[in-house]
Amino acid sequence: MDPEINHWENLDWDELTFAINMGQCILLLGPEASIEKESAEPDKNEVWRPSFEILANQLSRETISDIAQWNINPDDLRQVSQIYMHSKSHNSLKSKTRDFFLDPTRLNLTSDMHRQLAKLPLKLIITTTFDKMMVNALKEMGKSPQEDFFDVNGNAKELLQEGTINQPLIYQLYGSLDQINSLVITENQLLDFLYKVAGNNPPLPKNLLDKLQNRENSLLFLGFGFRQWYFRVLLHVLHIKDKVNPSFALEKIIDKSLDEISRTNLFIQNTNSKIQVFSTELKDFVATLTQKYFDKYPAPEGTAIESLSVRKPPSAFISYVREHERIALDLAEKLRNSQINPLIDRYELKSGDNWEKKLEHLITKEANYFIYLLSHDLVNQAETVAYEEKDLALQRQRRVKEGLRFFLPLKIDDCEIPVELQELHVESDLNKIIEAIKSDFESRKT
């Protein structure tokens, strides 16, 4: 390992935690910081990968011959999406990207690392990805994040709203799904972005640049991948140099990238940027950072950060028959908007999954609640997977402590109630189901 890499001093922690406490630290999240659990068999080890890599793999499978012909790395979204756009169309790429990140399960996604970061009093967070992981984590911590984005193809905003500790600003540098034409996905789009920003056409908001270029502010880069040439160019384009206080970059280092990291260090030194590059696991670094921060600057007793524990939102499995898929998807969206993670077969089952084992795992192990859509179409069917799902859920219901909920029948028409469910309260109002889940989940804290 390069001696200049992975060498943290107490002074580094002191400077970083002091900058955070003084409101002089800007968090920048790169693609390697947005990791999610990839689909795996329940009895196998979990695999965590960056969302951008998973999307790149999905796109590469649809253009596998072109990927092989040009010897493209199937994990490199910039190059894969470039090939995909030429093989299919630009609209097809935008549609695939939007559907990927707007998947109801992914929209609810966050991680313990993001939850730890959300505890810190950060006012400005800049991200180069399109996920909602940081937004979701901040909401869990009782904060109300503001969101804004840069549209390289649109009209420039002169100024941004100022973020606060309780209402931090999350700024999406490479565009937003809310404005699909703003997204910077392919390598050519990235080059166009760098060219336009360098020429101030359109310019980044003035107060954003002022904060990035402020000599007193420290920058914390997590998962940015400075071994990639375009992030080093981004540093140059943003004129991030001549800092009085240090900035920090955490990198995922593998042996074959050591030479590239050494060149990155040389680049940073030659541009007079006071950035120190360190190698460690991001989640381990963030856990240590939050511990050191609150050891030195304890949260006042009774504050939201002091009293909140890091806790995932409740999840609910939705069981339905195919005739009501649209109703189930609408229900999933309403649950998501109510901070309840919907688990639904259409999004949970991936190519290659053993669907019986996966559904059993979701119902008997992963889901906090089971919502059973009752209808004429269901009770009149002679055979359906929904019956198997119901039986698994009833078995688990018998293991749930008396007074707590798990099996939640929801009538969507005036059908008869099956005999085996007549001892359960059957609801026909989704809002009451949501209230029941939140009330029950809150009672489980004690």
pLDDT tens string 273-318: 566 666 677 888 888 899 999 999 987 665 555 444 445 678 999 9
Same domain, 255 and 377: no
- Predicted pLDDT at 104: 79
Whether the pLDDT of residue 441 is over 80: the answer is: yes
Q: 46 near 24, Cβ under 8 Å? A: no
Which H/E stretch holds residue 293?
helix 282-296
Selection from 225, 264, 254 nearest residue 128 by Cα: 225
Beta strands in 230-320 (DSSP E): 247-251, 275-279, 315-319
CATH number of the domain at 187, please: 3.40.50.1220
Same domain, 422 and 284: no
The reply to whether 61 falls in a domain is no
Same domain, 194 and 289: yes
Domain edge (last residue) among 307, 338, 364 = 307
- The Cα–Cα gap between 428 and 113 comes to 38
Give tens-digit pLDDT for 377-395: 999 999 999 999 999 999 9
- Predicted pLDDT at 270: 53
- Better pLDDT: 323 or 303: 323
Domain edge (last residue) among 280, 307, 334 = 307
Selection from 184, 185, 209 nearest residue 198 by Cα: 209
- Beta carbons within 10 angstroms of residue 43's beta carbon: 7
Same domain, 273 and 164: yes
- The Cα–Cα gap between 116 and 284 comes to 11
Q: What angle do CA 297, 302, 303 make, to 5 degrees?
A: 60
Same domain, 265 and 133: yes
Structurally, how many domains does the chain consist of? Answer: 2
CATH number of the domain at 323, please: 3.40.50.10140
Same domain, 320 and 293: no
pLDDT range class, residue 2, cuts 50, 70, 90: very low
Q: 364 near 319, Cβ under 8 Å? A: no
Question: Does pTM top 0.75 for this prediction?
Answer: no
Q: 245 near 21, Cβ under 8 Å? A: no
Percent of the chain at pLDDT above 70? Answer: 83
Same domain, 384 and 408: yes
Give tens-digit pLDDT for 100-111: 998 877 888 898
**Could you tell me the two tokens for 177?**
């799904």
> Exposed, middle or buried, 98 (CB in 10 Å: 0-12/13-18/19+)?
middle
Same domain, 330 and 290: no
Distance of CA 167 to the CA centre of its chain: 19
Q: 359 near 318, Cβ under 8 Å? A: no
Domain edge (last residue) among 307, 324, 357 = 307
Same domain, 303 and 427: no
Structural domain span for residue 147: 10-36+106-307
- The Cα–Cα gap between 118 and 203 comes to 29
- Predicted pLDDT at 157: 83
